[in-house]
């Protein structure tokens, strides 16, 4: 299936080649290339993550690259993660993984710029699906378009932007799409660090299953910083119209968001966010606006809501404690079915000395699927010890445990994984 994704991603690849050619012509000087080489050996007593356990040994090698270019009006950043996996018991075939994020912008004037962005990632299409080579799906999101800022006064700006977006899945079930977006934002800055934004946008999507979707959104946002507190709140209206086979469906909902961060003391930081969006699950809104989307790649219109709260506690220079909880709800506007996911995660990182440190984490997730009356509980625990033992070399030693319990006939399993890895960061 890889060749299909490469064909679909051709516009993105051509854009990257074109920008690199421009960079060469302008004699752009780049920051030093960041490189990390890694090798990992691990064993799992249930590599397929099913009730019928099947153990296997896995060898992995990886290459990570990162570079930032800034030269005059041109800005560019690239990060890439390449990997090769071999299962010695042939439980799965050899796996080549590629994750890449390219972000480039050219500023024609201080007011006019053009964006080119490409994201190639791998993920499962549903949060209840075990993450294995057979369930991971490649997704490519290519985005390009202009942005123009009009300075109306010292306090007022009008920002006009347009984007073309192409979303491709390497899957027979997820739906690819081509999307055009137009946005107009009016921004007013008050003297007391209060910012008012009135945003209006329209998106017109052409999906591969012969569905056309129009999404119109108008939102008013206020954001303010007061000492150690930052808050941003938005409320608006979204209307979504979909057409397929001469059948038209319309939905309209009140939507909005609330984001807050507060540095309560030198050791304690608090965050909270709430998002309420009306969208289709094949859109980029699902990937970027929500931390825990339940489903991806469908053309159904969804009313999505998510609460995320977190606490960061750093009592000293050696320890960091983190606690995060989230609650996500997806209501299908077509079928009136509702899926829910609740999760809580805790972690503790400790620096023993200059060469040794470790990280322990646990997460509990509860999924409830309205369409099948299935409820799942997932528990994940891990501990990793890191050792920086020689110049640019470091080692990783880790243990992971995952178990899934369910009601209503869903798959149950438990899996234990132990591994060791070596990382090398060369100097250039």
pLDDT per residue over 12-35, tens digit each? 444 443 444 444 444 555 678 899
* Distance of alpha carbon 358 from alpha carbon 345, whole angstroms: 17
Residue 11: is its pLDDT beyond 50? no
Please report, rounded to a whole number, the percentage of residues in the chain having pLDDT higher than 70: 88
Please report, for residues 16, 76, 106, 108, 143, the alpha-carbon distance to residue 73 in angstroms, rounded to integers and kept in the order given.
17, 10, 6, 7, 19
* Distance of alpha carbon 85 from alpha carbon 57, whole angstroms: 10
pLDDT per residue over 285-316, tens digit each? 655 556 666 666 566 778 889 999 999 999 99
Considering the chain, what is the average pLDDT of its residues? 87
Name the burial class of residue 316, with classes exposed (0-12), middle (13-18) and buried (19+) by CB atoms within 10 angstroms of its CB: exposed
In 3-state terms, the chain is what percent helix, strand and coil (to 5)?
5, 65, 25
Sign, Cα dihedral of 178, 184, 188, 194: negative
Lowest mean pLDDT among 211-220, 259-268, 332-341: 332-341
* Distance of alpha carbon 17 from alpha carbon 314, whole angstroms: 44
Residue 220: is its pLDDT beyond 90? yes
**The pTM is what?**
0.83
Q: Go through 390-402 and write b for each residue having 16 or more CB atoms within 10 A of its CB, e for each that does not.
A: eeeebeeebebbb
Nearest residue to 141 (alpha-carbon basis) of 112, 181, 106: 181
Please give the pLDDT value at position 244.
84
* Distance of alpha carbon 67 from alpha carbon 294, whole angstroms: 33
Phi and psi at 5, nearest 5°, equal -65, -35
* Distance of alpha carbon 343 from alpha carbon 291, whole angstroms: 11
Mean pLDDT across 168-187 = 91
Joined tokens for residue 94: 């050899």
Residue 421: is its pLDDT beyond 80? yes
């Amino acid at each position: 299936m890889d060749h299909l994704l490469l064909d679909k991603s051709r516009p993105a690849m051509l854009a990257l080649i074109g920008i690199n050619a421009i960079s060469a012509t302008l004699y752009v000087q780049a920051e030093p290339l960041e490189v990390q080489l890694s090798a990992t050996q691990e064993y799992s007593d249930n590599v397929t993550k099913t009730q019928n356990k099947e153990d296997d040994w896995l060898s992995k090698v990886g290459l990570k690259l990162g570079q930032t270019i800034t030269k005059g009006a041109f800005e560019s950043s690239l990060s890439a993660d390449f990997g090769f996996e071999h299962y010695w018991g042939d439980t799965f075939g050899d796996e080549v993984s590629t994750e890449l994020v390219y972000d480039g912008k050219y500023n024609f004037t201080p007011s006019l710029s053009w964006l080119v962005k490409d994201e190639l990632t791998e993920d499962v299409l549903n949060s209840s699906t075990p993450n294995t080579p057979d369930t991971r799906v490649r997704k490519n999101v290519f985005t390009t378009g202009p942005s123009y800022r009009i300075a109306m006064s010292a306090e007022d700006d009008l920002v006009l932007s347009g984007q073309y977006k192409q979303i491709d899945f390497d899957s027979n079930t997820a739906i690819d799409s081509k999307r055009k977006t137009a946005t107009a934002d009016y921004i007013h800055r008050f003297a007391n660090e209060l910012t008012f934004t009135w945003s209006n946008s329209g998106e017109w999507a052409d999906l591969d299953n012969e569905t056309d979707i129009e999404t119109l959104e108008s939102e008013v946002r206020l954001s303010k910083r007061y000492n150690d507190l930052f808050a941003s709140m938005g409320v608006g209206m979204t209307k979504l119209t979909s057409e397929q086979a001469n059948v038209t469906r319309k939905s309209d909902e009140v939507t909005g968001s609330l984001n807050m961060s507060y540095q309560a003391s030198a050791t304690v930081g608090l965050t909270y966010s709430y998002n309420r969006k009306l969208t289709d699950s094949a859109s980029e809104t699902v990937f970027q606006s929500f931390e825990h989307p339940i489903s991806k790649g469908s053309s159904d219109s969804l009313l999505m809501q998510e609460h995320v709260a977190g606490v960061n506690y750093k009592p000293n220079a050696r320890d960091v404690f983190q606690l995060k909880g989230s609650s996500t709800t997806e209501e299908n506007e077509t079928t009136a079915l509702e899926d829910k996911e609740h999760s809580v995660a805790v972690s503790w990182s400790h620096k023993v000395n200059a060469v040794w440190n470790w990280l322990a984490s646990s997460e509990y997730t509860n999924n409830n699927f309205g369409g099948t009356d299935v409820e799942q509980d997932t528990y994940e625990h891990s501990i990793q010890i890191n050792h920086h033992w020689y110049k640019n070399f470091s080692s990783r030693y880790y243990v992971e445990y995952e178990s899934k319990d369910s009601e209503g006939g869903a798959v149950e399993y438990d899996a234990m994984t132990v591994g060791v890895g070596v990382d090398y960061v060369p100097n250039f």
